[in-house]
Every structure is written in C-alpha cells, then in structure tokens.
Structure 1
Amino acid sequence: MTKSRRRWLTPLGSWVLGVLGLWSAPLLVNVDPEATFDSPGPNHLAWWAGLALLTIQAMALAWRSTHPSAILVATAATALVGGAVGLGDSVGVLSVAVVVAAFSWGLRAEYGGAWPAPLAAAVLVGVGTLLSGEPAGSGLVQGLGVVGLPLTIGLWLRGRHELAAAQQEQLRARAGELEARIQAAVAHERTAMARELHDIAAHHLSGIAVMTAAIGTQIDTDPAAAKRAVHQVRQECTGVLKDLRSLVGLLREEGPAAEPSAAGMRPESLANIGELVHDVRSAGIDVSTDVLNRGDELGAGIGPLAQLTAYRMVQESLANAARHAPGTQCTVIIDDTDPSQLTVEVTNSPGERGTEPNSAVGFGLVGMRERADLTSSRLDYGPTASGGWSVRLRVPRQDAATQEAA
C-alpha cells in the first residue's frame, strides 16, 4: 500500500462509519414510533447537510498529520454546524472524525502553545450537542469524552514511543562509547606490541648483523672462527623465535591450554640483565657490567613492570650502540644503593673513525620513554663529553604497602 493510499484509509473509514450511523438513525424511529430519538431522514434537508459535513470531515482528516491543531478545530466546528442545521440526535455521527482528529493531535501536536486547539474543540462539540436539544450536562460530557479521552490515549502512546526512542538512543550512545573504549584499548595494545617487537628485533638483529659482518671477513682467513660465528647467528635466530613465542604466549587468553607453555615465559627482570649482557658479548660486542648493590636482593622494591622496563632499556641501548656506533666499548651500570630509587645506565664510547653517534630520536628511544612514563620513571639520554652516548633510567622504589596492593 502506497503512502497516498494509507493517508486516505482512515478518513474513508471515518466517513463510512458516519454514513452508516446517519442512515440507520431514522430506521430506529420507524421501528419504535414512541421513541424520543429525534433524527431526520433522507427526505429532510438536514440529513443531506449531515452527509456533506461528514464528507468535509473526511477530506480534512487527510491533513491531520501535518496540521493536527487546525484539523481538530475544523472537525469539531462541523459538529457545531450539524447541531445548528437540525441534525438532532444524529449529530453524534460527526463525533467519529473528531475522535480521530483528537487522537492524531495527541500523537503529533507540539505541546507548547497548542493546547487552545483541544479546548476549543471540546467547547465546539459541547455547544453543538446543546444546539441539538440535549441538556447542558450532556454537552459537557460529550465535549470531554469525544475530545479529551482520545487525546489522552494519543498522548500516552506518544509518551511510550518517545520513551522507547530515548532508550534506544541511550543504548546506541552506550554502544558507541563502548566501541570507542575498545578502539582505544586496541590502539594501546598495538602500541605496546609494536614496542615489544621493536625491542626484540632490534636486539637480536643487531647482534646478527655484527656477527655476519665478521663472518664475511673470517670465512676465508679463519674458517673455524667463521663456523663459531655461524653457530652464534643460529643462537641469535633461536633467541628471536623464543622471544616472539614468549610475546605471543603473554597475549594469549589465560586458560588450561595456555598454562604449560606460559610457565617458561616470564618477563625479563633485573636479574636477567647479566644473561643479556653475556649474549651480547657472545655476539662480538665489547660490554662490561658494574653492579652496585646494598647487599639486599637486586631490585628490592622494584615492581615487575619496572624491572621489565629497565631490562628493555638495556637491551635497546646495547642494540643502538651496535647499530649506530659499531666497534665501541659499552658499559652497563646498575646502581642499587639508593634507598629511594634504582638507576640503570648504559654508556658507549665514541664510534670508530668516520662514524658518529646518531642523536636522532627513533622508535627505540620513543619506546623507552613510553615505558618510563608507565612506571613513573625518569629517562635521560644524550651524548657524553667524550663523544659517546649515554642512556640513564631512574626507577622509583615501591613501599611495602604499594607492593602488596600491586
């Protein structure tokens, strides 16, 4: 059914009901001549006037959606005209269109400034009832019933629709907010994964690059050393796979299937820095370590995330030294003597002649800065007075209460 046909369906139904009422009212008088029911028949001019008023009402109802207040008043005015032309008790057939118009007003009319329309319609219907010969009480009841009751039902249905629409809008807003939070969380996790992958790749691939450069010069002059270097390259490749597998294991959902593999995939800590330096030294990089400890456990009061930050800082700094200043001497200092903080510093000497330390802030330094911010640590880096490069991380200690809460 097209929109145009739906527009005329209700007015047509109203017209049919009104005509049936107008046609059947005189028959009631013929059935019971002693009845006090006063209604003109088709042989009276008033009956034809009522038919014309019903037709006018039906035509007016076609615009009830766009002009609800005007159509309500217009249909109610026809009831006044019907009472004036002598429809008598048949004036009630004109109330069908008024009921439809009042219901439409409740569904569509604007609240502000529109209330005079239903009040005027109720008055017009009441006066029309009085002109038909009914007492004043009947006119009041007719006006309130024909206009007030359908209008109230329309307002109630409208309120239900608006409430449902508001709830749907609220659900959409919540869904949008949840989606935004999910996207932010995904972006944060992507950044963290990119940082981890950069640290892993930079550390191992830098070592592989150094060792393959040595293999190129040793393969003809010192085959035994070249074989040892190839073995070290293989170890570095195995280390890459191990670290990547560890990262993937941490990203997997926790569950019974993940527990066996997760047991051997613990985040790196301060205690593992010695092993890290040993691996780097095995790759042909000159690295020395100096640990200053108070006698307690290394890194006491430093949380797991902060220890991982320090480990990654050393790993990335050594990789940068091998990449940007090959052949330099590196020093890793872990100062655990300050009760309030732990300091980790990585320094490399000036590069070989013709090479200069790269002071550009790449993704490695950006990752260090992000990790330091996450743990409330302080990261400083820059060239040294001798022309080398230094990276220093100061990690604050947690007190006992904070550590237990964490």
Structure 2
Amino acid sequence: MRLKVAVGCWVVAVALLAAVPLAAQGDPEGLAAVPEFAGPAWWLGLMVITLQATVLQRQPAIPRGAVVAVALGAPAGALVGLQDAVGVTSVAVLVATFLLVVGEPLRELWGWLAAAAALVALGQVLAQVDAGSDVGPAVSGGLVQGVGTVGVAVLVGAVVRARREVSTAREERLEALRREQAALVEVAVARERTAMARELHDIAAHHLSGITMVTGALARQIDTDPEGAKAAVREVRAHSKELLRDLRGLVTLLREGPADDADRQETLAGVGALVEAARRTGADVRLTVDTVDETGAVGAGVGPLAQLSAYRTVQEALANSARHAGGAPCEVVVDDRGEREVVVSVRNGAGQDAGPGGGLGLVGMRERAELTGAELSAGPTPEGGWLVELRLPRG
C-alpha cells in the first residue's frame, strides 16, 4: 500500500516537473525562471523527486524523521536550479505530512511539522532569490509556501484521524454493548436453567417419592393382600398422571407463559392437598392449621409468590421425608396466628432407610425463601429426625 502511495506521489511530481517548462513556453513572462525540459537542472530535479518518493516509501520505518527528510527536497531542489519549479517538491511533503498526522497524535508532532514547514519555506526562499527576486518578497513567499503546504496537510490529516477515532470508538462501544448483552443473556440462561432444574426437581421428587413408597408396599401386598395391591396400583397410576400433568404444565409455562391449572392451588391453602396426596401413598402425615380467621383461611397478607414458596417448601419437605425417612411419622404445621408472619414447618421422625440426597431440594428452598424475603431454617432434631421451618412475612 505504501509503495502505491510513493509511486503515485512520484508520478504526480514528475508530471508537474514536465508540465512547468511547457507552461513557461506558453507564458514566458510569468514562468521565465524554470529549468529547461530535459536539461541538467531538470534531471537533477527528477533525482530529488525520486529520492523523496524513496523516503516516502520507507515512511513506516521512520515516520517522524521521514517528514523532515522529505522536506529537505525543497532546499535541495532550489540548490540544483529548479527555481520557480521548486514547488513540485511540495507534493511529497504534503503526502508525508498527511500520513504522519493520520498515524500519530498531533500533540507529539509539532516540532517535526515546524521543521518540515521551515525547510519548505527555506527551499522557496532560495529558489526565488536564485530566480532574481528580492529577499523580502522571497521570504514572504517562502513562509506562505511552508505554512500552507504543511498546514493544509495537517488540517486534512487531523480531520481524517478524528473521523477514524470516532469510528473506532463507536465500534468499540458497540462491541462492548455486544459483550454486555452476551453476558446478560448467559446470566439469564443460567438463571432459567437453575429455575427449570429446581421446578423439575420439586415436581419429580414429590411424585416419584410417593411412587417409590407405594411400589415398595405393593411388592409386599401382591401375594398377601390382592385388594391392597390393586389400590396401590391405582395410587401409582394417580401419581403418574399427576406427574405427567405437572410436567406438561411446566413445558407449557416455558413455551407460552403460565398454564391454566385451576384445579390446584399452589398456595398455603393447597398444603392440605399435599398432605392428602402423601397420605394416599401410605405415609403417616398429620396436618395442623392454626388460624384466627373464622372461615379457616390462611395466609392473609402474604403475597402469591411467598405462598408459592411455602407450597413448594412443604412439597419438597414431604418428598424428602418419604425419601430419607420412609415410614417415620411426619407433621406439617401452618401457624397463621402471628401478626407479622406466618410460620410453616415440616417435622419428621428418624427413618430406617435414608437414601442419598443431591442437595438440590434444600438449595431450592433457600433460594425461594430469599426471593420472597422469607426466613428458612432446616436441620436435624434431637430425636434424630429433621425439621424444616419457613417464616413468611406479611405484606
């Protein structure tokens, strides 16, 4: 790319160097002091232009010094006798200055640019004096030539650099926005995955623990209690249908939004249905509801999200009781007598066959409690059982 620029600059300068003698022939009074075409001074001038193009081609190696080196072509051209044609050396100075200003911060270049302008002015002064002009007008013309040549290149280069910087800043800002958006999407996806994992765990653990208990009893009843075995099979079927319904509801929720499921209340009022479902699996579960409401309603002042959290907590606690303390008695208590909070607790006794736990259940309980401003405590009891207690603040 730099070679093309140098060659183009050389071609333009040579064309001007050839055109000036021809123009002088048509206007001998205006351009009398010019070298003869193909004369000694003309060839020396061509050498100066060629040297300028060579330095320009090597500009990436010495960008700042190259501007001064190229500007030396002006006094060199004047010394070889270009006289009024010395302006052709300014072509390379224009290009070199432009490239320098575009490539580097302008505040660091003023000394180099001033030196280049001084050399161009010096070349112009020497050329005009050689052509017979007085020193005063020659100096004025030299200053105009030097400042004009370098100033125009600086102005154009600064505008181009500013536009590039604006474009670069815009691209960087867009890239930063894209990275931020990608990070937000990743966080959202991670949250959705966690939420789906929690919901799937709650749904599956609740029903599958019941199915496990019923099938365990079924294996013992097939030969001794056929009617009981048939009832157990019906219970397994009921749990399986509920599990499929819940999974379909979750899929519908993920695809379209909240699913219509008016048959079930996932609130404090629905805790009784959870207890009844657990009893149908053969679990020994007792429910106690303490409330001051004459109608027996619970959860006044507790938001729907907090009530859903309580419902899921009881559901998970019952599933854990069946899985880790199968056969042990379990008690669910909903205490709605407090003025500022509702306390929901699930306590089970020590079990005989505690299965392994993955830890997702308790993690899900704590996350829901934090989201709703509730307080969750869970841990072993002195009797060897387990207690889960959730305190729900009222609005």
Query: Does the TM-score normalized on the shorter chain lie above 0.5?
Result: yes
In the superposition, the TM-score normalised over structure 1's length comes to 0.89
Instruction: Give the letter for the 1:311 counterpart.
Output: Y
State the distance in 2 between where 1:202 and 1:36 align: 101
Match of 1:225 among 217, 225, 228: 228
Confirm or deny that 1:373 pairs with 2:375.
no
Shift in CA distance, 224/189, structure 1 to aligned 2, threshold 3 Å: same
| Superposed CA offset, 1:215-272 (max 9, x none) | 1111111111111110110000011011112222222234xxx8xx536487611111
**What is aligned with 1:252?**
255
| Superposed CA offset, 1:135-187 (max 9, x none) | 23221221122111022101110110111011100111111111111111111
Shift in CA distance, 52/101, structure 1 to aligned 2, threshold 3 Å: same
Shift of residue 28 of structure 1? 2.7
Shift in CA distance, 379/358, structure 1 to aligned 2, threshold 3 Å: farther
Unpaired runs of 5+ residues, structure 2, are none
Match of 1:385 among 357, 382, 390: 382
Confirm or deny that 1:97 pairs with 2:92.
yes
Shift of residue 332 of structure 1? 0.7
| Superposed CA offset, 1:43-67 (max 9, x none) | 6432222111011011111022342
Other structure's SS at 2:288 match: strand
State the distance in 2 between where 1:122 and 1:206 align: 89
Shift of residue 312 of structure 1? 1.1
State the distance in 1 between where 2:389 and 2:280 align: 24
Between stretches 63-72 and 234-243, larger displacement belongs to: 63-72
State the distance in 2 between where 1:23 and 1:364 align: 90
Other structure's SS at 1:374 match: helix
State the distance in 1 between where 2:222 and 2:121 align: 114
Instruction: Give the letter for the 1:386 counterpart.
Output: E
State the distance in 2 between where 1:43 and 1:351 align: 112
Q: Check the 8 A contact 1:26/1:41 in 2, yes or no.
A: yes
Q: Check the 8 A contact 2:264/2:270 in 1, yes or no.
A: no
Matches within 5 A, 1:143-154: 143-154=146-157
Other structure's SS at 2:387 match: strand
Q: Check the 8 A contact 1:250/1:262 in 2, yes or no.
A: no
Other structure's SS at 2:72 match: helix
Between stretches 81-90 and 279-288, larger displacement belongs to: 81-90
Confirm or deny that 1:274 pairs with 2:264.
no
**What is aligned with 1:211?**
214
Shift in CA distance, 89/349, structure 1 to aligned 2, threshold 3 Å: same
Shift in CA distance, 289/37, structure 1 to aligned 2, threshold 3 Å: same
Q: Check the 8 A contact 1:334/1:342 in 2, yes or no.
A: yes
| Superposed CA offset, 1:6-56 (max 9, x none) | 332221222222222222322233334444531011464322221110110
State the distance in 2 between where 1:36 and 1:175 align: 62
Shift in CA distance, 182/29, structure 1 to aligned 2, threshold 3 Å: closer
Shift of residue 329 of structure 1? 1.2
State the distance in 2 between where 1:267 and 1:72 align: 82
State the distance in 2 between where 1:147 and 1:39 align: 24
Match of 1:120 among 95, 109, 115: 115
Other structure's SS at 1:387 match: coil
Shift of residue 202 of structure 1? 0.9
Confirm or deny that 1:73 pairs with 2:76.
no
Shift in CA distance, 220/36, structure 1 to aligned 2, threshold 3 Å: closer
State the distance in 1 between where 2:368 and 2:358 align: 15
State the distance in 1 between where 2:23 and 2:192 align: 83
Shift in CA distance, 13/350, structure 1 to aligned 2, threshold 3 Å: closer
**What is aligned with 1:3?**
none
State the distance in 2 between where 1:187 and 1:126 align: 68
Confirm or deny that 1:177 pairs with 2:180.
yes
Q: Check the 8 A contact 1:25/1:39 in 2, yes or no.
A: yes
Q: Check the 8 A contact 1:65/1:104 in 2, yes or no.
A: no
State the distance in 2 between where 1:271 and 1:378 align: 20
Between stretches 18-27 and 98-107, larger displacement belongs to: 18-27
Q: Check the 8 A contact 1:359/1:383 in 2, yes or no.
A: no
Instruction: Give the letter for the 2:250 counterpart.
Output: L
Alpha carbon RMSD of aligned pairs, Å?
2.0
State the distance in 2 between where 1:367 and 1:31 align: 96
Shift in CA distance, 137/265, structure 1 to aligned 2, threshold 3 Å: farther
**What is aligned with 1:401?**
none
Match of 1:13 among 1, 8, 20: 8
In the superposition, the TM-score normalised over structure 2's length comes to 0.92
Matches within 5 A, 1:277-296: 277-295=275-293
Q: What is the number of residues matched between the two proteins?
A: 385
State the distance in 2 between where 1:36 and 1:274 align: 110
Shift in CA distance, 270/98, structure 1 to aligned 2, threshold 3 Å: same
Matches within 5 A, 1:395-406: 395-398=392-395
State the distance in 2 between where 1:219 and 1:343 align: 42
Matches within 5 A, 1:315-394: 315-352=315-352, 355=353, 362-394=359-391
Shift in CA distance, 177/265, structure 1 to aligned 2, threshold 3 Å: farther
State the distance in 1 between where 2:87 and 2:192 align: 73
Shift in CA distance, 385/129, structure 1 to aligned 2, threshold 3 Å: same
Q: Check the 8 A contact 2:323/2:355 in 1, yes or no.
A: no
Confirm or deny that 1:298 pairs with 2:298.
yes
**What is aligned with 1:168?**
171
State the distance in 2 between where 1:58 and 1:226 align: 101
Other structure's SS at 1:343 match: strand
Shift of residue 358 of structure 1? 7.3
State the distance in 1 between where 2:351 and 2:80 align: 113
Unpaired runs of 5+ residues, structure 1, are 1-5, 399-406
Q: Check the 8 A contact 1:359/1:382 in 2, yes or no.
A: no
Shift in CA distance, 34/263, structure 1 to aligned 2, threshold 3 Å: same
